[in-house]
Structure 1
């Protein structure tokens, strides 16, 4: 399980240090793709395969299912951790998430999310003010 929040900088070559606490569970190779809320999702290969199987079952006849599948898979890349604990994020993913220098790398149960520090801070500010409401809505879905 991934949890915690870490701050890192991306270097001029597009490399970011993956927190040591996440490296073992991610494995030597894992998948990074466009996520929701303008962040990147990183999945261990085992979790990626589970998600892939679920997405394969979406009906091809549904426009939203096709759009989601395209969005999710077209941005996906397999990343390897180098000896310094870094991964190289392709420019297309950095542009999507607006990651330029400062990043937040957070653990979210079965995945890691990589955020622009500025966007993450804005998301936290917005979410903190409505957390009680969010929690109440979660109760409605038997959380």
Structure 2
């Protein structure tokens, strides 16, 4: 399980240090793709395979299913950790997530998320004010 919040800088070559606590669960290679809310999602290979299998079951006749599958898979790339624990993020994903210098890497259960620090702070600030309402809406999910 991934949890916690870490801050690292992305360099001019698109390299970003992955926190040591996350590296052991991600393995030497993992999948990075466009996530929701303008961040990047990173999945260990076993979690990616589970997700891939679920997405394969979506009906091709549904426009939203096709769009989501395209969005998710077209941005996917396999990342390998170098000896310093860094990954090289493709420019298309850097642009999508608006990664400039300061980044936030989050542990979110079965995945990591990589955010621009500015976008994360905006998201957190907006969500923080409605956290009680969000929690109330989660009651139906037995949380």
Normalised TM-score (structure 1): 0.99
Q: Give 5+ residue unaligned stretches, structure 2.
A: none
How far apart are residue 50 of structure 1 and its match?
0.1
Match for residue 67 of structure 1? 67
How far apart in 2 are the matches of 1:17 and 1:5? 13
2:84 maps to 84
CA RMSD of aligned residues (A): 0.5
User: In the TM superposition, what is the alpha-carbon distance from 1:9 to its structure 2 partner?
Assistant: 0.3
* Alignment length (residue pairs): 143
SS in 2 for 1:137: helix
Q: Which residue of 2 aligns with 1:14?
A: 14
Aligned partners of 1:131 and 1:5: how far apart in 2? 18
TM (norm. structure 2) is 0.99
CA–CA separation in structure 2 for the residues paired with 1:12 and 1:128: 32
Partner of residue 124, structure 1 = 124
Q: What is the distance in 1 between the residues matched to 2:129 and 2:67?
A: 32
Query: What are the residue-to-residue correspondences of 1:1-143 with 2, within 5 Å?
Result: 1-143=1-143
Q: CA deviation at 1:10?
A: 0.2
- Rounded Cα–Cα distance in structure 1 between residues aligned with 2:12 and 2:94: 12
CA distance in 1, matches of 2:140, 2:43: 28
The Cα shift of 1:142 comes to 2.8
